[in-house]
Amino acid sequence: MSAPWHRAARAFGFVAVLAAAACSQIQGDPTAYAPIDPVWGNGYGHSDKRVGADEFSVFAAGNPASDAERVAEIALLRAAHLTLEHGHSHFVVVQSKARAVANETLVTVPIVLPGIFLPVPVDSKSTEEQVAILIVRLVADGAAVPPEGIDAAAVVTHLAPRLGVN
């Protein structure tokens, strides 16, 4: 049986390792083309919402390893998929917006005491994350495609391989 101070030293060593891991600046991979999971996810990826009979809002958010071009491509690819899912071939971008958003997060390490779990802040981290928002209108089948109309299948063919989508 180890002495109490040995257990404390071992616990302190474990906490030090966790703190070092939490403070490391591992960048990671760029955001994947995937839906944002609001419950279990990290808030990166794409989402969409119907805003009119034939209009949708498409949102894409990228992690710090994602540049503005990748995030815009995620939004555009989602708009194309959405168009095809609704049985249409073309869409029009009614409005678009892209910007960098500053994000300040606390880096914490878990400290477990008898009967209590305590996240202890050890650092704060500022990151810049890219977001893109599109308002798109689906072109009705049989209607004349306007000059600004975008072929959804062509977008999928071009962007899916670039974003690693099968």
What sign for the dihedral angle of Cα 135, 30, 84, 150? positive
10-18: average pLDDT: 41
- What confidence score (pLDDT) does residue 144 get? 95
Q: Which contiguous run of DSSP H or E holds residue 20?
A: helix 4-23
For the chain, count helices (H), then strands (E): 3, 5
Q: What is the pLDDT of residues 66-94, one digit of tens each?
A: 999 999 999 999 999 999 999 999 999 99
| pLDDT for res 17 | 38
Confidence label for 27 from pLDDT (cuts 50, 70 and 90):
low
